[in-house]
Amino acid sequence: MRQKTRKSYDSFDDIFILALNILGRTDLTTLELRRKLLLKTNKANEVQAVIHRLTELDLLNDFERAKNIINYHPSWSGLRIKQVLYEKGVPKDIAESAVEELLDEDSERERAVLALKKLLGTKTLDEENRTKIFNSMLRRGFKSSIIKKIIDIDIDFYE
């Protein structure tokens, strides 16, 4: 049986093509791409040069990645989105500006309503469930003022 040989990525061009192949399959932050490339090669200087070049070409953009994450998860709170962005290596200033740009008070309320509908499922919003739902939404990162507003208003109003 023939043994599979592992391709070596020694030059800038090889690493650049590898990075393009990775980015063609999935959208990544700068840190995520750096980690993936360093797993394939131990050429840190070339990896940094490739990342710099991809950023110059606007093929690698943490702000756009942050906006994609915000839009992909419509029932997440702004706080939860920031936390996920930090975990993915998006710099704090970029994460905060993306959240501020895309999430205002109204959109945060809409996200809270979606989260509430998911939590309720087929249950009704009675006095017994109110405290559980309120606490669960707090843990999801929604502000208490927004939670109070949407719980006090009849959920059918939003349907």
Q: Please indicate, yes or no, if residue 4 is contained in any of the structural domains.
A: no
Q: Give pLDDT, residue 158.
A: 44
Q: Give pLDDT, residue 23.
A: 94
Range of the domain at 35: 10-60
Tell me which residue has tokens 């192949």.
21
- Let me know whether 69 and 54 are in one domain: no
- Let me know whether 109 and 151 are in one domain: yes
Tens of pLDDT, residue by residue over 112-159, are 888 888 888 777 777 777 888 888 899 988 988 888 888 876 544 444
* Alpha helices, DSSP H, located in 57-143: 62-72, 78-87, 92-102, 105-120, 127-139
How far apart CA 42 and CA 12 sit, in angstroms, is 12
- Let me know whether 74 and 54 are in one domain: no
- Let me know whether 21 and 34 are in one domain: yes
Q: What does the DSSP 8-state code read for residue 19?
A: H
How far apart CA 142 and CA 113 sit, in angstroms, is 11
- Let me know whether 67 and 80 are in one domain: yes
Q: Give pLDDT, residue 8.
A: 76
Tens of pLDDT, residue by residue over 72-88, are 998 899 899 999 999 99
Q: Please indicate, yes or no, if residue 5 is contained in any of the structural domains.
A: no
- Domains in the chain: how many in total? 3
- Let me know whether 19 and 56 are in one domain: yes
Q: What is the CATH number of the domain that holds 41?
A: 1.10.10
- Let me know whether 50 and 34 are in one domain: yes
Tens of pLDDT, residue by residue over 31-74, are 999 999 999 988 899 999 999 999 999 999 999 999 999 999 98
- Let me know whether 42 and 74 are in one domain: no
Measured CA to CA in angstroms, residue 25 lies from 18, 19, 52, 68, 130 at distances of 11, 10, 20, 15, 43
Q: Give pLDDT, residue 129.
A: 79
